[in-house]
């Protein structure tokens, strides 16, 4: 996604995304949020569940004695577009709002062990083995924030937009003036001035400004601490009470740093991946499964794309 955003002709000042690294590790949403909490990033309360009974219990634990607190149940599958997807058993949507523990249990029954089909998975779909129940956050507004490695500046770049909760590509195309970036010196980290500029660009004022600055610093510390190549928060939400929460997260990791983060890479869910790619990775080979019956063996990303374009 970032490649097209950063190469947008309206954003020529924004460098192209680095694409040389191999990224095999893809974590579930609940795993990413768990890692973020360890770095002080504020996230809504959430509990994963493997069975309908666990989902019911998770709902009750999240709500506690707070009547009126709603809970979101999300199918945990390594694909985008879960909310608009559908299950092969006929159940529509991989994301639902629950108001009662019995409702959470019923939704879990319709999701767990079933195959979720989204635009990204194609007709084959992907099996859901876990659901994630998370406290609903009443948002005053939604923002966007990300950090990625940038080849042009040879370091991290922080990207922010007050227009979150939607495709950042659409924002870049329609309103490029709403996207802000700061290139970071990786040897020193972001300056207070850079952090403050982005927090203000996100619309932060007063106490909210300080909370945004804190979350930006925590997200950068996590980015460096886990050797990430991408941290994307969409949405980064401001609640009606003026709190700041990361309500969804996408994290990519540098495989070359796997030896430093064995506990993170141990979370890899190979059952959700293409078995051909899993087999290839066991031999340190980079393999991308595609449709069709023509294989392409190349020694560079640019050559690979050019060759595939010619074949197609």
Report pLDDT digits (tens) over 70-81: 999 999 998 888
193 flagged as catalytic: no
Same domain, 117 and 207: no
Catalytic, out of 29, 105, 114, 144: 144
Same domain, 81 and 111: yes
Q: What's residue 24's pLDDT?
A: 60
Q: What's residue 280's pLDDT?
A: 84
Q: What is the mean pLDDT of residues 43-69?
A: 94
Helix residue spans in 182-300 (DSSP H): 192-201, 206-225, 262-265, 275-281
List the structure tokens of 29: 């949403």
pLDDT at 14 over 50: no
Residue finishing a domain among 120, 135, 150: 135
pLDDT digits (tens, 9 = 90+) for 136-170: 999 999 999 999 998 888 899 999 999 998 778 88
Q: Please, what's the b/e burial string for 36-65 (b: 16 or more CB within 10 A of its CB; e: otherwise)?
A: beebebbbbbbbbbeebebbbbbbeebbee
pLDDT at 45 over 50: yes
Same domain, 99 and 15: no
Rounded to whole angstroms, the Cα distance separating 234 from 249 reads: 7
> Is there a domain that residue 227 lies in?
yes
Q: What's residue 9's pLDDT?
A: 45
> Is there a domain that residue 32 lies in?
no
Q: Which helix (H) or strand (E) holds 126?
A: strand 126-127
Same domain, 104 and 61: yes
Helix residue spans in the chain (DSSP H): 2-6, 29-37, 52-63, 101-111, 168-174, 192-201, 206-225, 262-265, 275-281, 301-311
Q: Report CA dihedral (129, 135, 137, 143) to the nearest 10 degrees.
A: -40
Same domain, 302 and 248: no
Question: Which of the 8 DSSP states describes residue 300?
Answer: S
Q: Which residue has the higher pLDDT, 52 or 287?
A: 52
Same domain, 105 and 251: no
Q: What is the mean pLDDT of residues 243-248?
A: 94
Same domain, 177 and 240: yes
Residue finishing a domain among 100, 118, 135: 135
Same domain, 116 and 147: no
Q: What is the mean pLDDT of residues 242-249?
A: 93
Question: Which of the 8 DSSP states describes residue 267?
Answer: T
> Is there a domain that residue 35 lies in?
no
> Is there a domain that residue 263 lies in?
no
Residue finishing a domain among 101, 135, 169: 135
Q: What's residue 250's pLDDT?
A: 85
Confidence of residue 99 (pLDDT cuts 50, 70, 90): very high
User: What's the number of domains the chain is made of?
Assistant: 3
> Is there a domain that residue 266 lies in?
no
Q: What's residue 120's pLDDT?
A: 82
177 flagged as catalytic: no
Q: What's residue 274's pLDDT?
A: 76
Rounded to whole angstroms, the Cα distance separating 41 from 67 reads: 26
Structural domain span for residue 284: 274-311
Q: What's residue 225's pLDDT?
A: 96
pLDDT at 4 over 60: no
Mean pLDDT of the chain: 88
Same domain, 142 and 243: yes
Tell me, what CATH number does 178's domain have?
3.30.470.20
Catalytic, out of 54, 182, 232, 238: 232
Among the residue ranges 7-11, 13-17, 99-103, 192-196, the one predicted with the least confidence is 13-17
């Amino acid at each position: 996604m970032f490649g097209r955003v950063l190469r947008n002709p309206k954003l020529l000042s924004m460098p192209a995304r680095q694409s040389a690294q191999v990224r095999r590790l893809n974590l579930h949403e609940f795993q990413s949020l768990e890692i973020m909490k360890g770095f002080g990033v504020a996230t809504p309360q959430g509990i994963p569940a493997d069975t309908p009974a666990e989902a019911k219990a998770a709902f009750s634990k999240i709500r506690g004695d707070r009547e009126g607190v709603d809970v979101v149940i999300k199918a945990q599958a390594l694909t985008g577009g879960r909310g608009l997807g559908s299950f092969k058993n006929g159940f529509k949507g991989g994301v639902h709002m629950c108001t009662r523990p019995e409702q959470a249990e019923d939704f879990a029954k319709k999701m767990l062990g079933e195959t979720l089909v989204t635009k990204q998975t194609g007709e084959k779909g992907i099996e859901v083995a876990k659901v994630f129940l998370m406290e609903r956050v009443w948002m005053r507004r939604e923002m966007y924030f990300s950090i990625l490695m940038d080849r042009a500046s040879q370091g991290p770049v922080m990207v922010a937009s007050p227009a979150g909760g939607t495709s950042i590509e659409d924002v870049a195309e329609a309103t490029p003036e709403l996207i802000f970036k700061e290139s970071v010196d990786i040897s020193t980290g972001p300056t207070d001035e850079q952090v403050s500029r982005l927090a203000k660009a996100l619309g932060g004022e007063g106490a909210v400004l300080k909370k945004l600055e804190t979350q930006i610093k925590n997200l950068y510390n996590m980015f460096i601490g886990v050797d990430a190549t991408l941290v994307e928060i969409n949405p980064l939400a401001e609640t009606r009470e003026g709190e700041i929460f990361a309500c969804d997260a996408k994290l990519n990791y540098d495989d070359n740093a796997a030896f430093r983060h064995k506990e993170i890479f141990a979370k890899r869910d190979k059952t959700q991946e293409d078995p051909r790619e899993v087999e290839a990775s066991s031999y340190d080979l980079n393999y991308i499964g595609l449709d069709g019956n023509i294989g392409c063996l190349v020694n560079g990303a640019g050559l690979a794309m050019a060759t595939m374009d010619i074949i197609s």
